[in-house]
Amino acid sequence: MLRIENVSYTYDELPVLEDIHLRIQRREHVAIIGESGCGKSTLLKIIYGLMDLEQGAVFWEDKPVLGPAFHLVPGASFMKYLSQDFDLMPFTTVAENISQYLSVFYPKELKARTVELLEMIELTEFAHKKVNTLSGGQQQRVALARVLAQKPDILLLDEPFGHIDNFLKNSLRRNIFRYLKENGITCIVATHDFNDVLPFTDRVFVLRDKTIIAKGKPMELYKNPKDLYIASLFGEATSIAIDVLKSYGNTKRKIIVYAHEFRVSEVSGIPTTVITSYPMGNYYLVQGLMDNGENVFFNAESDLPAEKKVFLNVSIETINQRIQQPSVL
């Protein structure tokens, strides 16, 4: 088990993290999500031992993870940290980078393992290319394979697919997270991309205002976000009063409604004026203005012109599901 106990951190007299407590089981995959600058990367660096703690402690099983003041070379040997800086050997080949930490005393195993990792990151044809000739996204894939070659007990990933082309991201996610599960590697991913989270992680921790504000299984947090901030990490959403949704509601309590949960009608519902439509492929994301002056985001099957009057509805099942949650802001 990885234990983060009462961890706080200040940078240049500015608090970055306050009173962080986490328990992560061996083989578990978790995500730390939150807006840019909320402290995700700092937390990963603390877990890895790249920073000296001012308050609190980090343990893997019963072994403390200590910072640079205690180690000539910072970082814990049993875990690996893939940061947004790739730390590659630029003037050697892709294959040489990946195989650097594999044993040269077993050449057949070294070759087979290198080939396996090249296939996983889909760079087989680039095996003999120098790393400094690759794009940023290709270098990020090499960095992923390089840390996986070392088979750590824990892998820390900081925005692991941020530089990778969209058409490759999905297959790489599947390859990487399947490999980690099959090899029993504990994984913590810091990300703002819900596509890294919903299909692949066992639990999620939401970071905001220097502390953990929510935790749970990914789909539970997605289906029942307790506030608009959490919902916005998974998609466009609106905080809306129940008496606006249903005139008989007789309460101004607000709930969260995702854009895809609205249904557009020409005859009845919440009166809304279209502001802008954004084509998203097989649907349009529409920003509208309700009669009470509040903005709302909803999905539509077709392009809706600006100033068009429409009506929005939300199913009673969605309302009942959200109304069981604490009141939102």
| Nearest-10 Cα torsion for 166, 168, 171, 174 | -70
Task: Give burial (CB, 10 Å; 0-12/13-18/19+) of 224.
Answer: middle
Whether 203 and 218 have beta carbons less than 8 Å apart is answered as yes
According to the CATH classification, is domain 2-227 in 1.20.1740.10?
A: no
pLDDT per position as a tens digit, 229-271: 999 999 999 999 988 888 766 677 899 999 999 999 999 999 9
| pLDDT for residue 328 | 45
Whether 209 and 39 have beta carbons less than 8 Å apart is answered as no
DSSP helix/strand/coil, 163: coil
Three-state secondary structure of 95-157: HHHHHCCCCCCCHHHHHHHHHHHHHHCCCHHHCCCEHHHCCHHHHHHHHHHHHHCCCCCEEEE
Among 25, 49, 44, residue whose Cα is nearest residue 153: 25
| pLDDT for residue 305 | 96
| pLDDT for residue 326 | 56
| pLDDT for residue 163 | 81
Answer whether 2-227 and 231-323 agree in fold. Answer: no
Which residue ranges in the chain fall short of pLDDT 50?
A: 327-329
| pLDDT for residue 84 | 66
| pLDDT for residue 150 | 83
Flag whether the pTM goes above 0.85.
yes
Contacts of 275 (CB under 8 A, 6+ apart): 286, 287, 288, 289, 295, 306
Would you list the domain boundaries of the chain?
A: 2-227, 231-323
Query: At the fourth CATH level, which superfamily is domain 231-323?
Result: Nucleic acid-binding proteins (2.40.50.140)
